[in-house]
Every structure is written in structure tokens, then in C-alpha cells.
A and B are shown apart, each in its own frame.
Chain A
Amino acid sequence: DAGITQSPRHKVTETGTPVTLRCHQTENHRYMYWYRQDPGHGLRLIHYSYGVKDTDKGEVSDGYSVSRSKTEDFLLTLESATSSQTSVYFCAISPDLDSPLHFGNGTRLTVT
């Protein structure tokens, strides 16, 4: 979808390895979010950013870190992947607190 790109689309990794997922936007939106989607749980917020170098934790932040060194990129890092982090990860963006979130196409991560 134009405006927001997640990479990679799919990834398989082994337990204990570091993994970084990337969210890139071309909309110059201030807010960026990382969610994970698991069966039976809908989507749950991991971390979010409200500006360059400004981030905060969401509902399920344990085991994850984020960075935002420039407006267009929001990185999600799993320092040491575990099988419980097998999930589909979605990035979302919005220009302000009133506009609805626009989601990327997701990254399917499998930790073996």
C-alpha cells in the first residue's frame, strides 16, 4: 500500500537470534505504532512513537525494543527471539491524534 511499507514481508528465524523489523512511511506522519496479531487476541499494541526519538511502551512490550531516528522509519527489534514471539506484526501511522490509523501489510515472523 502506498505510504507505508513493512519489511520483510515474511521471516523465519531461530530462537535466540536478534531480529529487526522495519516500518517505512512516506507520509511524514508524526505517530507510528507497532502491533502484533495472534489468533484469539486481535491486535495488541507493542510500542509507539510520537516523534523522532520519542517512543513509549504499549500493552505487550516485554522482549521488544524500538527506535525512531528519523520521521520515516520505525524499527522494532527482538533482542533474542522466542517462540512466543511468532506472530504477524503490523505497523500503523497517523498524522495526529484525531485521524484514524493507517496500517501496513504486516510481517509474518516465525521463530523456530
Chain B
Amino acid sequence: AQTVTQSQPEMSVQEAETVTLSCTYDTSESDYYLFWYKQPPSRQMILVIRQEAYKQQNATENRFSVNFQKAAKSFSLKISDSQLGDAAMYFCAYTALLQGAQKLVFGQGTRLTINP
């Protein structure tokens, strides 16, 4: 079975600094998607970024970028120029392709605190 592990239950960073959240996953599949979701106190699950496993280029979305290491099964999220609005729970997630649905497997989450 596929698993996703986030080894950092909590992280904190100074406003305007850079922080990296770690995620590792285990799968025997070759085609899959990886995601980072943000969950603020409002409880809403918000997609931050997505990476297709077949793409070697790391995905970026404005201040958010990933370091995707397929052989190591590692998928970290880098947040540059951290802002107070970035404070939230961050979840790493995985889904294999070709299984008839997007059956996301989530990590346990990392709580990110931004210090002003």
C-alpha cells in the first residue's frame, strides 16, 4: 500500500524568510501525482501545488516550489518570502494514476507558524 510520511509535525519561520517542509512517500507505481494542500484555521483544503511524476522539472507557483526527487521518493515544499497568511497545516498527498479515481493518500500534516 502507498504511504505518505511528513516527519515534521510543526515548523516555524520568521516572516519574509524561507522554509522547507519535508515529505516522503512509498509506492511501486511509476505514474502518479503529488500534491501539497494548505489547511488554514477555516478548515478549507486549498491546493498549493501539484507535481506530475513523469515531469522532471520541479513545479512552481509564485512563492511556492517543490523539490521532487523521484528516485529518493521525496517531495519537499519550499515557501519563499513567508507571509503571515501562510500560517496553516500543510498536507502532502499522493495518488496513483490509472486506478479509476483520484484516491488521494495524505500525510499526517505539518503545522507551519509564521513569526512576525
Interface residues of A (CB under 8 A from B): 1, 31, 33, 35, 40-45, 48, 50, 56, 58-59, 88, 90, 92, 94, 97, 100-103, 105-106
Set B42, B100, B101: member contacting A33, Cβ < 8 A = B101
Interface contact A43-B104, CB-CB below 8 Å: yes
Interface contact A43-B106, CB-CB below 8 Å: yes
Bound CA span A58–B99, Å:
12
Residues of A within 8 A of B91 (CB): 42-43
Report the interface size for chain B: residues with CB under 8 A from the other chain.
21
Give the 9 A-B CB pairs with smallest separation, nearest first. Answer: A42-B106, A103-B45, A43-B106, A106-B43, A48-B101, A100-B47, A42-B108, A45-B103, A42-B107
Residue of B nearest to A50 (CB): B101
Bound CA span A59–B104, Å:
10
Residues of B within 8 A of A56 (CB): 100-101
Set B35, B100, B107: member contacting A50, Cβ < 8 A = B100
Bound CA span A1–B45, Å:
11
Q: A31-B102, A41-B108 are in contact. List 15 more A-B contacts (CB 8 A).
A: A1-B44, A33-B104, A41-B106, A42-B109, A43-B91, A44-B106, A45-B104, A48-B101, A56-B101, A59-B105, A97-B102, A101-B47, A101-B102, A105-B44, A106-B44
Residues of A within 8 A of B104 (CB): 33, 35, 43, 45, 101
Residues of B within 8 A of A1 (CB): 44
CB distance from B59 to the nearest CB of A (A): 12
Bound CA span A94–B104, Å:
12
Residues of A within 8 A of B50 (CB): 100
- B74-116 CB contacts (< 8 Å) to partner A: 91, 93, 97, 100-109
The interface centre, meaning the residue of B93, B97, B104, B109 with most chain A CB atoms within 10 A of its CB, is B104
